[in-house]
Structures are given as C-alpha cells and as structure tokens.
C-alpha cells in the first residue's frame, strides 16, 4: 500500500471544514484592515532564497533542476516571493501596499507535532511606508488575526536597537554566536563565550536586557540609541490601542534580517514549539533588483494555530437529504437545486433504494429529509421531516427552503 510522503498529511472533510473556517476568519480580518490577497508560484529560482540566507539553507529545502537546467526550489517561506512580486509588478502601484497571503510552503526538516515538510503560512506585508504607526499597525493586525483564529497566546514586542546598542562594541563575527546563545537562553554558554573573547563584562547587561520588561529600564541598560523616539512612539500607539503585549527588549533572533521593531506570539498550549507568529520591519526589495524600500510584516504558522486550537467541532451546518420515489425523481432534482441555490448543503440519494432505506441513511447525517413522491410532484408541495424530532409537515417548496434556513420549517 502506497503511503503519503513523510512530513505531509491528509485531511478528511471534518478537518478541512475546521481549517477552512479558521482560514476564512483570518482572511476576513486582514481584509477589514485594508489588506488584499496576493499569490506567488509554488516554486521559484533557487537564488531568490539563497541571495539573502546563503547557500547553507539549501540542505533544508526541496531543490531541483528543471528541464532547462535552471536551479529551482519549492518555496520555503513567502516573504521573499512576495517582495520579488513587488519588485516585478508592484513598484509603480500607489504606496503603501497592504498585501496578505495564505499558501503552502515546503522545508526538508525533521517532522514533529506542529512542524511538517509541507506546511501553511498566513501573513501580511506592509510595503512602502516607514513610520511608528505603520509598525504598530502590523502588530495590531497580527494580534487581531490570532484572536479571530480562536487561540490563547502571549504577544512579545521589542526593538533590535536595544540589542544592537549593547553589542555595538563586538566584531560582527562575535555577534552571531552571542545572538545564538541568547536565543537558546544558554546563559552558561554565553558567559563562557564572552569570557573567551575578553567581553565578560557584557554578560550581566545582556542577561538584564533579556529579562527586562520595562521600557525605561531597557533604555537604561542599552544606553543611548538613535531610534529612541521611534521606539517610544511605537509602544505609545500600542498602549493607546489597548493591545495586550509584553515588552521583550532582548529579542535577538533576526538581527541579520529585521531592521527595527520585532515581535513574536506564543500559543499557551503547544509546549516547546509554541511560537505561532513572528515579524518585524525589514528591507529586502533592493536584494531582488528593486529600490531600497521600507517594509513590515509577519508570518503565522497556520498548522501550529490549528494544533493550538485543539479538537473542536466545526460550526453546525444544516444538511438536507432529498428522499424520493421513482415518480418523484424529476421533481427531486428541481427541489435539490432550489435548496442548493439558497446556500443549503443538500444531498440527493443516488442508489434507487426505497424511501424507508433512504430515510434510514439520511438520519445518519442530515437535519431534515425532504420526502417527494407522486403526490408531492403533482401538488408541487414537499413533505419535510425533522430527523431529530420526527415531526413532519407538508409545505410549499419556498416555505420549506425558508424554514430550513431559519430552523423552523412549517
């Protein structure tokens, strides 16, 4: 028996209904903030991803050579493709651009709960505006999207200026190991490394900054920084908007990628792999042949969001089963069409079984049975049966449709 590829999943109808409902809520939230959907190819030129991250990421990607000898890759993320789209098609559009996406990505890594080789990302990119309000808006959209997705999470917001200020005296080759130790919360490794490079005096301030949750204290630890006014304004906007966040001045991940404001969200019930959103300000367009363009965005791990939600029943949906005799078949097709046109899920028996057998089958998944025989076909009426209560009445077709829609057919 052939099996699905490792790190991928199959989704049955119940799972897909839940996923589509959450996806729809996230899309609707982005739309309400003025963001419009874009879509990029599932594969791109390999250089699109290595030009920023280097050749080292190739081992984590699905890479292939096409028939023209070009090196291609299945997309491992969506920010680079969206910025490539901006450079190709969007530079002449009116700024700022508010774009969102929802699509699958591919990474060759060890599968585990909430982490797969084929996974889905939801994200937004705000392109072409550089202001504290722009940074704050992206954070607020991310907060709103996660709330609409129905998960409990904590939102951490910081600014890389704090960390850059503290690390400014270190050569670039020493800053990367320091960031790695900070990201892993490996205090002993950090202290040992700083001692080996003659910078033991940095260990204390770095630990203080990572644990700091007060803005004034963070400025005190980091010292003077040119972005101070911008940082204060960004946090003031979040406070004015009532966003529930935790100041995290010690965010070290992404210093090679992000340029200023950074933020992360962590689900409450995912264990160690609990980050569901990450984002911040960045500048990538110039790497892909465009002008230097300020941008801010985030990506949400949709699969982790679904795990964080847990097992939930999809929203109740009214289902109608059309049950008919041979004499009522032509009318049954018409009746089924009317219910479907009204947006009601309608199933028609395909087997030619007796009405009693059809009713037994309908009771396993439908809310109502529409019973059609010779009499109904001649009078243009329908007999509607509530399969939960057993009550049935004969009504005109239009009344049956309205009644099912309202939950009170009479």
- The strand ranges marked E within 234-348 are 246-247, 258-267, 275-282, 295-301, 319-324, 345-348
Q: Are residues 398 and 272 in the same domain?
A: no
The angle formed by the CA atoms of residues 269, 163 and 230, to the nearest 5 degrees, is: 95
Q: Are residues 30 and 87 in the same domain?
A: yes
pTM: 0.88
Tell me if 20 is assigned to some domain. Answer: yes
Q: Are residues 296 and 389 in the same domain?
A: no
Low-confidence ranges of the chain (pLDDT < 70): 114, 252-255, 313-316, 408-410
Tell me if 360 is assigned to some domain. Answer: yes
Sign of the CA dihedral running 292, 95, 99, 45? negative
**Host domain of residue 272:** 13-152+268-309
Domain termination residue (choose one: 289, 309, 329)? 309
Q: What is the pLDDT of residue 179?
A: 81
Tell me whether strands 153-159 and 246-247 are parallel, antiparallel or unpaired: parallel
Q: What is the pLDDT of residue 192?
A: 87
Q: What is the pLDDT of residue 329?
A: 92
Question: What SS3 state is found at 301?
Answer: strand
| Number of domains comprising the chain | 2
- Cα–Cα distance measured from residue 186 to residue 203, given in angstroms and rounded to the nearest whole number: 11
pLDDT per residue as tens digits for the range 290-312: 999 999 999 999 999 999 998 77
Q: What is the pLDDT of residue 254?
A: 64
CATH of the domain at 394: 3.40.50.800
Residue among 290, 292, 300 nearest 259 (CA)? 292
What φ, ψ does residue 161 adopt, rounded to 5°?
-60, -35
CATH of the domain at 75: 3.30.930.10
Q: Are residues 35 and 78 in the same domain?
A: yes
Q: Are residues 280 and 300 in the same domain?
A: yes
Tell me if 93 is assigned to some domain. Answer: yes
Tell me if 186 is assigned to some domain. Answer: no
Q: Are residues 54 and 87 in the same domain?
A: yes
Tell me if 209 is assigned to some domain. Answer: no
Q: What is the pLDDT of residue 55?
A: 84
Tell me if 157 is assigned to some domain. Answer: no
Q: Are residues 365 and 295 in the same domain?
A: no
Q: Are residues 302 and 386 in the same domain?
A: no
Tell me if 397 is assigned to some domain. Answer: yes
Q: Are residues 282 and 338 in the same domain?
A: no
- Cα–Cα distance measured from residue 67 to residue 44, given in angstroms and rounded to the nearest whole number: 14
Q: Are residues 296 and 354 in the same domain?
A: no
Tell me if 142 is assigned to some domain. Answer: yes
pLDDT per residue as tens digits for the range 238-260: 999 999 999 998 886 665 788 99
Q: What is the pLDDT of residue 114?
A: 67
């Amino acid at each position: 028996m052939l099996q699905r590829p490792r790190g991928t999943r199959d989704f049955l109808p119940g799972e897909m209904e839940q996923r589509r409902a959450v996806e729809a809520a996230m899309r609707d939230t982005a739309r309400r903030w003025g963001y419009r959907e874009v879509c990029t190819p599932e594969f791109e030129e390999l250089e699109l991803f290595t030009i920023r991250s280097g050749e080292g990421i190739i081992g984590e990607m699905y890479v292939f050579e096409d028939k023209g000898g070009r090196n291609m890759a299945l997309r491992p993320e969506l920010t680079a493709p969206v910025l490539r789209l901006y450079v190709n098609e969007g530079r002449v559009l009116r700024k700022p651009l508010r774009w969102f996406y929802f699509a699958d990505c591919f990474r060759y890594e060890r599968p585990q709960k909430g982490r797969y080789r084929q996974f889905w990302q939801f994200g937004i990119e705000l392109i072409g505006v550089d202001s504290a309000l722009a940074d704050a808006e992206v954070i607020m959209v991310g907060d709103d999207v996660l709330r609409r997705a129905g998960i409990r999470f904590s939102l951490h917001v910081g600014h890389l200026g704090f960390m850059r200020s503290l690390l400014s005296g270190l050569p670039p080759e020493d800053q990367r190991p320091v960031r790695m130790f900070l990201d892993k919360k490996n205090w002993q490794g950090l202290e040992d490394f700083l001692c080996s490079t003659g910078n033991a005096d940095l260990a204390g301030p770095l630990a203080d900054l990572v644990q700091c949750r007060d803005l004034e204290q963070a400025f005190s630890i980091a010292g003077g920084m040119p972005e101070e006014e911008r940082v204060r304004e960004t946090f003031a906007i979040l406070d004015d908007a009532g966003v529930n966040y935790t100041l995290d001045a010690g965010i070290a991940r992404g210093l090679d990628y992000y340029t200023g404001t950074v933020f992360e969200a962590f689900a409450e019930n995912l264990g160690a792999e609990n980050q569901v959103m990450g984002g911040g300000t960045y500048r990538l367009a110039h790497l892909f042949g465009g002008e230097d363009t300020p941008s801010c965005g985030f990506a949400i791990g949709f699969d982790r969001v679904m795990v964080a939600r847990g097992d939930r029943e999809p929203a109740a949906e009214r289902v109608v089963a059309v049950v008919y005799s041979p004499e009522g078949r032509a009318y049954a097709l018409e009746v089924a069409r009317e219910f479907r046109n009204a947006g009601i899920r309608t199933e028609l028996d395909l087997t030619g079984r007796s009405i009693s057998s059809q009713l037994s089958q309908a009771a396993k998944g439908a809310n109502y049975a529409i019973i059609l025989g010779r009499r109904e076909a001649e009078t243009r009426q329908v007999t509607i049966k509530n399969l939960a209560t057993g009550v049935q009445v004969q009504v005109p077709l239009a009344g049956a449709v309205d009644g099912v829609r309202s939950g009170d057919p009479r």
